[in-house]
C-alpha cells in the first residue's frame, strides 16, 4: 500500500495538481482565505474531482506540523525515489546531453529542498543522492523546493561510488566541486558534454572516494574573504554556469 503524506504550500500543491494529479487524494484549504493565488488551486482540484475541505488555521497548522502551508495542503500518495535502474533508463531516453546533480551526503532537508528547486529551474534531468546518511524527500524538503520535488526526478542510490562509475561508463563526465590542488574554476571547465556535477556535503565537502572518481575537479572563484558558499547557493552557481555554456 502506498504511503500517504501531507504536502503543503501554494507552489508545491499547484505543481502536483498540474503534473501528477493521480497522486492527490484531497485538499485542505484555509476557510478565511480568499485571494487570487489560492482560488485557482481550489478550482483546479474541483475540476479534477477532488474533495476540498475548508479548515481553520489551527487545524492546518497541525497538519503541516509547523511548516508554512500558505493556506493549502494536499494529502498525497508519496512518490518513491528512483534508483540506479531508473537513472539508467532516464539516460537512455534523453535526446540532449545529460545534466545531472549529484549530492554527496547532503543531510540538511532545507539544503536538499533548495537544491531541488535550483535543479528544476536549471533544467537538470535528475538529482542523485545516497540512500543512507543523506536527506530524503520529506514534507519540509517538498515545501522548500516550492514544487520542484514533484517535477525533477530524484534518485536514491545504494552505492554512490558504483553509480559514478556507471555514469562514466555511460559517457557522462563527472565534475566534482573542490578546492583541492589541480581544480579549475567552473568557468574554465567544459560543461557542454553530458555532465554530472557533484556537490559535497555541508562543511566536509566531497568524500575522498567520491573526489577520486571525478573526471575533473572545479571550484567557484571567490572575490571576498569567505572561502565557501552554502551548498545550495554553490549548486545554483555551478548549474547555471552549465546552462550558460550550453546556450552559447
Give 224's pLDDT tier (boundaries 50, 70, 90): confident
Enter the CATH code of domain 4-77. Answer: 3.30.1330.30
pLDDT digits (tens, 9 = 90+) for 65-84: 877 899 999 998 877 899 99
Q: Which CATH superfamily is domain 84-246 in?
A: SPOUT methyltransferase, trefoil knot domain (3.40.1280.10)
pTM of the model: 0.82
Cα separation of 124 and 122, whole Å?
6
pLDDT digits (tens, 9 = 90+) for 145-156: 887 888 899 999
C-alpha pair distances (Å), 48 with each of 10, 26, 78, 87: 17, 10, 19, 31
CA distance 118 to 240: 9
Tell whether the model's pLDDT for residue 5 goes beyond 60: yes
**What values do phi and psi take at 69, rounded to 5?**
-85, -15
Which residue ranges make up each domain of the chain? 4-77, 84-246
DSSP state, residue 129: E
Terminal C-alpha separation, the chain: 48
Q: What integer pLDDT is reported at residue 1 of this predicted model? A: 56
Residues making up the annotated binding site are: 200, 220, 229
* Overall average pLDDT of the 127-138 stretch: 93
Give 43-88 as a DSSP string: HHHHHTT-EEEEE-HHHHHHHHTTS--TTEEEEEEPPPPB-HHHHH
Q: Are 194 and 169 in contact (CB under 8 A)?
A: no
Torsion from C-alpha of 225, 230, 231, 233, nearest 10 degrees:
-90
Residue 104, pLDDT above cutoff 90? yes
Residues comprising the binding site for S-adenosyl-L-methionine? 200, 220, 229
Q: If you average pLDDT over residues 14-31, what whole number do you get? A: 92
The answer to whether 101 and 121 have CB atoms below 8 angstroms apart is no
Is residue 226 scored above 80 in pLDDT?
Answer: no
Categorize the per-residue pLDDT at 248 as very low, low, confident or very high, splitting at 50, 70 and 90. Answer: confident
**Are 9 and 72 within 8 A, CB to CB?**
yes
Please tell me if the domain spanning 4-77 has the same topology as the one spanning 84-246.
Answer: no
Amino acid at each position: 500500500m502506498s504511503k500517504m503524506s501531507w504536502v503543503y504550500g501554494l507552489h508545491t500543491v499547484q505543481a502536483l495538481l498540474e503534473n501528477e494529479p493521480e497522486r492527490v487524494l484531497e485538499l485542505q484549504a484555509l476557510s478565511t482565505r480568499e485571494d487570487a493565488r489560492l482560488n485557482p488551486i481550489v478550482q483546479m482540484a474541483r475540476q479534477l474531482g477532488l474533495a476540498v475541505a475548508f479548515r481553520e488555521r489551527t487545524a492546518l497548522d497541525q497538519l503541516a506540523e509547523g511548516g508554512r502551508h500558505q493556506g493549502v495542503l494536499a494529502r498525497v500518495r508519496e512518490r518513491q525515489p528512483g534508483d540506479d535502474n531508473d537513472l539508467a533508463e532516464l539516460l537512455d531516453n534523453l535526446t540532449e546531453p545529460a545534466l545531472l546533480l549529484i549530492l554527496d551526503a547532503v543531510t540538511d532537508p532545507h539544503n536538499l529542498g533548495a537544491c531541488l528547486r535550483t535543479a528544476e529551474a536549471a533544467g537538470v534531468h535528475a538529482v542523485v543522492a545516497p540512500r543512507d546518511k543523506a536527506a530524503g524527500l520529506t514534507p519540509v524538503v517538498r515545501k522548500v523546493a516550492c514544487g520542484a520535488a514533484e517535477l525533477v526526478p530524484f534518485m536514491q542510490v545504494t552505492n554512490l561510488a558504483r553509480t559514478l562509475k556507471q555514469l562514466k561508463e555511460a559517457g557522462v563526465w563527472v565534475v566534482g566541486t573542490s578546492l583541492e590542488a589541480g581544480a579549475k574554476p567552473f568557468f574554465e571547465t567544459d560543461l557542454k558534454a553530458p555532465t554530472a556535477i557533484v556537490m559535497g556535503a555541508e562543511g566536509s565537502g566531497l568524500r575522498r572516494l567520491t573526489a577520486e572518481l571525478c573526471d575533473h575537479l572545479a571550484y567557484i572563484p571567490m572575490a571576498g574573504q569567505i572561502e565557501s558558499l552554502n551548498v545550495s547557493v554553490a549548486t545554483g552557481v555551478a548549474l547555471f554556469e552549465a546552462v550558460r555554456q550550453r546556450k552559447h
